[in-house]
Every structure is written in C-alpha cells, then in structure tokens.
Amino acid sequence: MAFQTTRYAQLWIFASCILGLIAGSCLAGTEQEPGDDERFVRTIPIGFDLDVAVESSILSFRLHGTNRLVAEQAVVHIVGVSGTGGAIDSSFVVEAKREGDVGDMYLELPVRHIWSLFNPAPRDRFSGRFEIELVDSIGVLGRGHVEQVTLTLESRFHPRLERLVGGQVHVNQLIEVSGENFLRPEEGTTWALVERGSVRYSNSRQRDIAGTRIALVWNGSRTSAYLPIAPAVFGVEVAEFDADLRFENQLSTGVRFEGNRQDGFNGSILQSYIAALTPERGSRGQRIQMSGRGFVATSTDDGYGMLLRYEGTFTPSDRSQAVLQLTGAHALERVPDKVEREDSLEQSVWYAIQGRTLSGFGAQPGVFRGTITPLLVDAFGEQEGLAWQGDFTILSTKQVVYLKYLPAFSKGLEKYGLENVEREIRDRILEVVRRDYAGVNVRFGEDEPRDFIEFSTIELGGPDPSGNDAFGYDNTFNDDAKDTGNLYLSDYLGGLNAQSGAEFNNPYGGIFIESFSNFSPTLSPDTAYSSPEFDRILKPFMPLLAGRPVRATEWPAGARTEAIREAIWMVGNVVANTVSHEIGHSLGLTFYPEDWNQPTNVFHNSIPGDCIMDSGQDRSFEERAELGGRQPARFNERNLQYLKQILPLTD
C-alpha cells in the first residue's frame, strides 16, 4: 500500500514517529562516521529497471545491502518533468518489504498511484529521478536515489509477435519469440489464443484444441518472450500439432488489448528422456539434478503429471542385508521434488518414515544399479520416456545445518554495542559449532544449502518472542519431541510451532541473543546465573552499561582492539554453545539406550560435567564463554558415540 504525501507532510510523519525530536533531526545524517550523538544514515544502492509502464505496472525498487536492516516504511520522492512539460515533485510512503526472512528489502509503488501525475493519451514520458529514504521508528535509516530516469507511460498496449517457428519440440519446451509490448508478470498476461488447432497422436487419435489459450512466459524484455509447448494444451504424448493463434494482452485490471495473428503454427512433439544425473552419489535428502528433455511438473488442476520409475537392484553396504530386486511390481515410483525447466528437474535421495523406521530409495547406504524412467500422463493417455541407466551410490546420512541470521540478530548486537563486529562474531560462532561436532557427519553453513533439499535450519534472532527470555529453544516436534536416530532431516528451529506449544507451552524456537543480557548482574541483579565477567567484558561497549559502541574505524587496529577481541570471543562462544546445544536436541540428544525402544522426554544429562547437553542451570556463563583458560564444553562419551552411530563420516 502507498499513499502520496507532500514534502512538508513527509517531515511531519518523521517528526511524529520519534515523539519529541524535531523533523529536521530526522532527516539529518551523514555518509561519514557519526559522532556520539549523531545517527549514521546509510547510503543505499537502488536497483530499478522499468522504462515502459502501463497502468497495471509496479515501480519496483531493490534496496541493495539492506538484508541486516530493520525498517517498515520508505518514502519514494519523484522529481522531474512530464512529456507535456509539467513539473513533478511528489512523495509516496510505501511499505518496506523483504525477500524472505533475510534477503534485501524492496519497495513496490503501483503505477496507478502516480498515473494522475501524467497525461498518457495515449502516452506520456517522465524524465527525472527517484529519491528514496528508508525509515524506522527513529527516523531516516538509509538513503538512495536513481538518477536520469526515463519512463514512458502507455495507455494502450497491443502485443505484436513476429513469425513463429515450431518444428521438432519437447513437451513443456519454451520457444523464444520476438515482437513488442510483452507484459511483465505483475502487469498481467500476454496470451496466445488458439482459434483453430488440433493434436494428432502416433496411434492416429486426434483432439481439437480450438478455444484453448497459452500464457507467454516473461524473459525480461518487452521485445522477446517464450511460448511454452504447454502440456495442458498439447498433451504429454508423442504427437503432431497444427494451430492458428491470436495474441492478446490482458492487464491485471481486466483491460484487454488485441494483438496480431499467426496462422499455421505446427510441429511435432518428441519423446521425453533422462540423459544424466548430477552427482551420481549422495546421502538421503541430498539434491540430485536430472537433465534431459520433456519434463513436466504435476498439475492437478490441468490433469497432467510425471513420475520417475526406479527399476533394478539395490545392494546394501551392510553385507548382512539381502540384495533388493526392484523390478516389476517392486519397482519404486516417485514424483519429482521440483521441475525447474523442461530440461532439468530436482529429485532428492528420497525416503519415507514409517513409525521409527526408514523406507524408500535412500533408507540405507548402498548401490542402486538400474534405470530411471520418466512416465508422463494426462487425461488423454500416457507416455513412457527414454530411461537413464547406470549406478547410483547412496551414502551414509549427513545432517546439513543452515545458520539463518535474521535482521533482528544485528539489532541484538546493537544492544551490546557490537554491531560493527557482527562478521567477526559470526565467524567465531561457525568455528565453535564446527569444532563441537568434529568427527560427526554434520555440516554447518551460513548460506541456505543448494546441494540438499532436506536440511535443518536454526534461526538466530534478537528477542525471545515468547517473553520468557530464553537463550534458545528447539521447538521442533516430529510425532515425538525427541527424534532418536535423527529420522527427520528438515527440522526448523525457529518461528512458531503449535505442536511444541501444546506439548511444552513454548511454541517459539531459535537463538535469542538479547536474552543473554540476563548474565549481567547490573541489568539482572536477581538472576542466579549472572556473572561479573559479563559486565567487565561488555561494559566498554554496551549502551545500557554506559559503554560506547564499537566503531568501524577502531577495529581491528584501534585503542580498544584487545577489549573488542575479548568481546567477540565471549559473545561468539556463548551464542555458539547455545547453537550446539539446541542442534543436539534436534538430533535426538541427550541420548539414553532406552530411547531406541521408545524416545523418552529426557533431554539433558542426568550427571553434569562441563558437557554441551547439560541443562542450562548446569552450564555457567564462564563455561559457555570459555573464559579464564577453561576447556570447551563437549559431548559426553555416550552422546558422542550416538552421534557417530547415526551420522558416521564417509569419504
């Protein structure tokens, strides 16, 4: 949503939001490092790529480098002239959105909100610039601009396509076409309407496709697009087709603009096939890329889909287990996890959980030798494709863990005065968790994994949303609260889990770094586990302890370098110790032998001993922070052997 405001009203909004500061101070800022009483206003690079707009278009601005910022609104200021010579100077307040939970921010200003500034009859042109200010509860957080903007506004938008060429194609293939006035996805759809057409299959069956329509696919240009060999129109079988097409633009507002015609679009649809697997070995949950041609995603609405059939033998790595014959009625069939394009699909090393046991393709390590065949089906028939043939090695289970840092994590570090050394703190966290799980087949990383479809995620944020000031919490719940054997690989330690809330009265998971201030005897004098060491280390930097936050210019070579280094060490260790503890819970810890029969609701070591899975009250601040030469906490021998049993290292 956006609303227009004058420059005067904009200042009033900023003044209101900070309750007592004058409007001028909201807009004040410097690109240099500020003094103690000044606010740093970031310079934000702005991405913008629209040059022709219709009434249903959206002005979309990407705010690069804002993935760690927290803000809810922005002001888009439009300054320039229209084609008729009229001056334009208007501001619009828009919502600041984010790509996912951790991506860059972006702004969307619908063109209909600025349409009245121009006179597009049939067109008008804006020349000027966009100025953008990102705003939080205090005032201006960042500022950017797009210069030398030329934007043509069209009130009529008729599509035109140049000559189409069919020939030999595969189902779902994208045929690149040239022309003009193709619509962007947010604006509406450019349609190919079949006025006359038929499909003739290899057994001489024929069906009429007149009256159907095909949505063209945007490829980033007003002058080119893709026409898909849509399975809903042409079917999934080997066939020949011939059609006369008419083109049309339909705006999201419902307005239509008729385009030109193309008669005699014809060709033949070839058999689908799988050519290669990458890689040809992997553990359960790992992403396998299959390349070939003629792949389709299943569409229940349009009544077509595709299965993959696995036929052959499976030889377990455990030689005491019998070789499985996966042929005939015992062949395995699976819907692909994701069909990216007609020449590429994703399939995990898949498995199923039945009670407390695993079944399916990736249930145990071994070698599959045989074929993988694509099977396509729709309401008019089915088509068997050409199979891949070879060996695929299934490895022992690997647990991949994604450390997902939320923007609130950066805000939390700001509370401690350590925002400018976030990178160093995160490096220390990664170093510690990798050390804690050394010798176990666990992989930690800060980027969302691309090579695994199934992986665990742990959110690192700021405040505990439950209000309990917890340091961290594993809120995963997979039938049982304790996942003995680590059957489930896609645990999500974060967000809201209603099952966990119903069972343990704590629905929120993740790591909550703002709660660590409870270690401060000054801020939490009634807390039994507080430590003077916390205040000693953070007092120079933490505003609530009268400290001065770390400046970028004083690290790594400044007067306070050693004090900053100790703060990085302490905070990194404390957070990492909590991460290792909560991930341990998600893996089925703490482990007791009776858990193999039925997982118990015992989650901590009964006898503490400087161990990662000791309860919170048994893990002192000094132990977590690794201060005074203390040895790092570790997994006790029973827990370590359990981890090595369920997650053994492989070559």
List pLDDT tens digits, range 22-47.
233 333 333 445 555 567 899 999 99
pLDDT of 246 strictly over 50: yes
Angstrom distances, CA of residue 339 to CA of 131, 295, 299 = 40, 7, 11
pLDDT of 18 strictly over 70: no
Structure tokens at 257: 């603009």
The CA distance from 372 to 251, in Å, is 43
Average pLDDT on 343-365 reads 94
pLDDT tens, residue by residue, 90-126: 999 999 999 889 999 999 999 999 999 999 999 999 9
Average pLDDT on 520-530 reads 94
Which pLDDT does position 25 carry in this prediction? 30
pLDDT of 533 strictly over 80: yes
CATH topology of domain 2-154: Immunoglobulin-like (2.60.40)
Which pLDDT does position 7 carry in this prediction? 42
Contact present, 620 and 529 (Cβ < 8 Å): yes
Which element (helix H / strand E) includes 27? helix 23-27
Structure tokens at 192: 């190919």
DSSP state of 272: P
Q: Which of 377, 558, 585, 364 is nearest to 474 (CA)?
A: 585
Task: Classify the phi-psi angles of 313: left when phi > 0, otherwise alpha if psi is within -120 to 50, otherwise beta.
Answer: beta
Of the listed ranges 209-223, 348-362, 383-397, 446-460, the least confidently predicted one is 348-362
pLDDT tens, residue by residue, 310-330: 999 999 999 999 999 999 999
Please give the torsion angle defined by the CA atoms of residues 607, 609, 611 and 613, in that order, rounded to the nearest 10 degrees: 20
pLDDT tens, residue by residue, 249-269: 999 999 999 999 999 999 999
pLDDT tens, residue by residue, 268-305: 999 999 999 999 999 999 999 999 999 999 999 999 99
Average pLDDT on 7-14 reads 40
Average pLDDT on 352-376 reads 95
Which pLDDT does position 35 carry in this prediction? 55
pLDDT of 83 strictly over 60: yes
Contact present, 134 and 44 (Cβ < 8 Å): yes
Which pLDDT does position 632 carry in this prediction? 96
Give Cα 29 to chain centroid, integer Å.
33
Same fold, 2-154 and 160-270: yes
pLDDT of 478 strictly over 90: no
Which pLDDT does position 470 carry in this prediction? 94
Contact present, 315 and 370 (Cβ < 8 Å): no
Whose tokens are 């506004």? That residue is 153
Contact present, 384 and 269 (Cβ < 8 Å): no
pLDDT of 309 strictly over 60: yes
Which pLDDT does position 4 carry in this prediction? 55
| Choices 3.30.70, 1.10.1130, 2.60.40, 1.25.40: CATH for 160-270 | 2.60.40
Single-letter code of the amino acid located at 172: N
Angstrom distances, CA of residue 625 to CA of 159, 357, 519, 525 = 65, 39, 11, 20
Mean pLDDT of the chain: 92
Structure tokens at 225: 């697009």
Structure tokens at 60: 């979309």
Q: Which of 171, 183, 194 is nearest to 217 (CA)?
A: 183
Contact present, 207 and 240 (Cβ < 8 Å): no
The CA distance from 67 to 637, in Å, is 41
Whose tokens are 């909004």? That residue is 13
Q: Does domain 276-395 have CATH number 3.30.420?
A: no
Domain layout of the chain by residue ranges: 2-154, 160-270, 276-395, 399-646
Query: 40 vs 423, which has greater pLDDT?
Result: 423
Cross-strand pairs, 325: 313
Q: How confident is the model at residue 432 (pLDDT cuts 50, 70, 90)?
A: very high
Exposed/middle/buried for 465, CB within 10 Å: 0-12, 13-18, 19+?
middle
DSSP state of 284: T
DSSP character string of 299-345: BTTTTBEEEEEEEEEEEESSTTSPPEEE-GGG-EEE--SEEEETTEE
Q: How confident is the model at residue 651 (pLDDT cuts 50, 70, 90)?
A: low
pLDDT of 354 strictly over 50: yes
pLDDT of 200 strictly over 80: yes
